Chain A
Amino acid sequence: MLDGRQKVTGTAQYTDDLKRPRMLHGAFLRSPHAHARILGIDASAALAMEGVHLVLTGQDLPTRYGTIPVAMDETALAMDKVRFVGEEVVAVVARDRETARAACRAVRVDYEPLKAVLSLDEALDPASPLIHEGRRKASNILRRVHQVHGEPSAGFERADVVLEADYDYPGSTHVPLETHCALAEWDGRLTLHSSTQIPHYLHRITARVLGLDPAEVRVIKPAVGAGYGGKSDVFANELCAAEAARRLGRPVKFLLDREEVFYAHRGRHRTRMRLKMGVTHDGVLTAAHLDADAEGGAYASYGVVTAYYLGVFLSLPYVLDDFSFTARRVYTNHPPCGPKRGHGAIQPRFALECHLDRLAHAIGMDPAELRRRNAVQPDTETANGLRITSVGLEECIDKVVEASGYGTRDPGPNRGLGLAASAYMCGALHPVYKTDAPQSAVQICADRSGRVSLLTGTADIGQGSSHTLAKLVADRLGIPLQHVRVLEADTDLTPVDLGAYSSRITFMAGNAALSAANQLAEVLDAELPFAKAVEKAEAEHGTLAFVGHYTPPKIGSRFRRQSVGPSPAYSFTAQVAEVEVDPESGQVTVHRVWCAHDCGKALDERMVLGQIEGSVYMGVGEALLEEQRYDGPMLVNPSILECNIPTVHETPEILALIVETHDPEGPLGAKEAGEGPQLPTVPAIANAIHDAVGVRMDRAPFTPDRVWRALRKR
């Protein structure tokens, strides 16, 4: 690996590893109320404490922001009211963390508690108090999306079997092993180091909230200990660190402790769904309608986008010319939800793949065959205008069916095999803010030493994007990987890339990197060894630097409101899970998961396999163990101990298989692998449980008590 040595020697520098002379530390006082007005804040006792330098409140950073411009409903610190237990109310900056935390306890905040909105039903009830007052539409519904494509009612008429069922998918959170951390410095300009997935958006928003010209703000992403979507927003610790550094003229670091990360959240929306689908006797899907309600927590985050993702991928990976959906994303007085790996597509995928098994059984067809029969085809367009290029779905299904013996092998008593498949985008077509500028760029510089510098604004958060880009370039130029230096995510030095979200980097930055590498290759004499060729080209052309950039093609504008869903390409995945159920205890053990993933082209096989394995692992966690649960206002499990992420013992043997379909627009044909492989996991396990013991688990996670109760009911 490009940066493997740093990781295995502990020399990789994560944000909390960075130190500066005279550095101060920040801590937060958080709201103990789910919903309350702030009547007054008295920080005098805190300010009087030795070693305390600054106290910030909402008034100090009143500019509203949010990553999605149509839903900027957050401020760095709570203003006027608090909206969930754990919300940041006051920031204290002191000589060390101990002092800052102690000073927080000395701040007095007077609250007037308000009735809290603590469930989906309460959020939908028009009589409930408004969590965000002053919105254009006075309700706790952030966004309602209703789309109709084709004629679903006619489609249902055509069907021989129509089935409807309710599904309930839990909220869960990312739990990156590195907690959020930001280090800000001021020397007339702001430099902000942060554990972030979105250096570019962080740059823009920080500048705007602090009232600075973006040209006076520099954002640098150090090594990041993962994110999975949990670091795709701008957070209080970043803005407060920046503001404090500016006021004090000293470096300021804000590190979140583990519990605070649970309050930062931005995790998966708990989603209640009702899915209705029709199929003919010979296995043709005729129509689908989905109602989905997602509990979003106290702020919008990416929630507007989530509401679209809940429905727009119903047309993948099976042809559905007639479908509709109504999705509502609501506010509740809980930590805000946002994007977690598979953002908004995981929940309906669970419903759809479980539903397909129901339909297959209803018409007496092999579930694999039902999927093959309806598979979307290459070079087509879906009913809702998604342009499909390469498709490897059937090959993926064939591979996992063969490898697992699905449909032919009897795995034994209380054991079962379950199949599921899916598709996922390779980057959202549109950036979160309106611009026609490139969404990714890579600059390559080479000189007569033979080294190549690769400058990119991408965010490697552990998924290996720097390695992948370096390898693309090294392979194209025929030089060793170690001769490529990647300089990443420094907004002063690197060209803009929108960041690590929606699985866009391999496709978009990869194309940019390839373009730059091709430009360099073009001026090099292929007969000469690389360093000599570069020197000759320098002599002919001057100092060598080339920029490759990527802007997605103009597709998907066929109808209004289609900004979410279109992507330059889609990956495809199929999985078979082998489970064993202990019928007495309800305990589910996932023994093996076969996963075949169409990634277009594996630019580095080990990286792709690693993403498949990590995705399946995260899916197993959501299937069996993880659930963001509330007791009224209180998150019951804000700790690594109680949030139940899988250890090595709960993780199945994962047999990852790569399928290559050579996408015409992907770099060397490559597509994504970072999120797609998680989509089939939970439904594959649900379907396997049904195969094993005959119960349909329509609500995840499939904890022993839920399976036991389902078995008792049967």
Chain B
Amino acid sequence: MLPLHPFRIERPRTVEEACTLLSQGGRPLAGGTDLLPNVKNGIEAPDLMVALWDIEELKQPLGALQTLRQVGDTVPALRDCTRSVATPTIQRMGTLGGNLLLNSRCRWFNQSRFWREALPKGACLKCEGGTHCYVAPRGSGCYAAHSADTVPVLWLLEAQVELASVRGRRTLPVDRLHERARDELLVRVILPSDPPAIVFRKLRARAAIDYPLLLTAVREDGVAVLSAIGPRPLRVEVGTNPEAAGDAAYAACFPLDTHNAPSTWRKHMVRVETRRAVQSLVG
């Protein structure tokens, strides 16, 4: 029905082989649950797909190729934020690495090529060759929302990610993942040994399939990370008093018109969700 464009595919067996291919412009492919729909919609058109399926190193615990379902089954701290993704079937296809690197989303962007090109000022800023942002026409960049369920929790866990490239390996704190170079491969996530208690909430239109309208994660020390409200998750020190926490988060967040639900209501829900998260944290 929706054909993909012709491309080459390679199946490297090691991280090093994969890195070489990525340095030649290859696009990493894991579960494909985000990439392939975007390719079908003409959002990306890689010439070379680098399938990571055969790289055993990536399948170790918290490796990039572990499925979201496997991660949730084995890591209690990440159970809620992997069980919330899409549907159970997609959780069994989608990977930890794929979710961490989930492309940002916006109602003007996640559309077919036909739709985006029919827009009065052409395809939006986030598209190749696009110049106009429909969310913030007078803004200074792309405001597509960060939409990965696992990331707010990983921020609060102060996780690290191990990256590899032809230039070698390095670790980054997960909240600096945006510094990743295009040809760097995400190898695994490293968690601290004694993770703190974190409450995670996902707000979405339906209880399955949907991407987040709002993600709220709060740690037992009153630090929160909210997402789906802007291009990056937002860390806010909200404290452990539920009412005050809701107010603090509300004051800090400015969701834009990136979703099909009104941003005024989503901002209101920042307060509600944060308050509820802190409430369940403090018991």
Contacts and interface: CB of A to CB of B under 8 A. Distances in A.
**A touches B (Cβ under 8 A):** yes
A30 interface: yes
A708 B260 contact: no
B118 interface: yes
Contact of B2 (A86, A257, A585, A650): A257
A703 B2 CA distance: 31
A32 B118 CA distance: 4
A638 interface: yes
Given A97-B3, A639-B111, 12 more contacts: A101-B3, A179-B1, A259-B112, A625-B206, A629-B260, A636-B260, A644-B206, A647-B209, A649-B208, A650-B207, A708-B265, A709-B265
Contact of B262 (A584, A649, A705): A705
Contacts of A344: none
Contacts of A610: none
A258 B111 CA distance: 12
The 6 closest A-B pairs by CB, nearest first: A32-B118, A705-B265, A649-B207, A98-B3, A647-B208, A257-B1
A585 B3 CA distance: 41
Nearest to A639: B111
Contact of A632 (B1, B120, B207): B120
Interface of B: 1-3, 107, 111-112, 114-115, 117-120, 205-211, 260-262, 264-265, 268-269, 272
Contacts of B260: 629, 636-637, 642
Given A257-B1, A632-B120, A647-B207, A586 B115 contact: no
6 contacts: A636-B107, A642-B260, A648-B208, A649-B206, A708-B265, A709-B265
Given A632-B120, A637-B260, A705-B261, A625 B115 contact: no
A646 interface: yes
Contacts of A258: 1
Interface residues of A, number: 38
A584 B112 CA distance: 35
Contact of B206 (A255, A629, A646): A646
A72 B264 CA distance: 44
B210 A641 contact: yes
B269 A585 contact: yes
A705 B1 contact: no
A377 to B, nearest CB: 43
A319 interface: no
Contacts of A650: 206-207
A371 B269 CA distance: 39
Contacts of B209: 641, 647
A634 B206 contact: no
A625 B205 contact: yes
Interface in A692-711: 703-705, 708-709
A86 B111 CA distance: 13
Contact of A634 (B115, B207, B264): B115
Contacts of B2: 257
A85 B116 CA distance: 11
B101 to A, nearest CB: 20
Interface in A238-255: 255
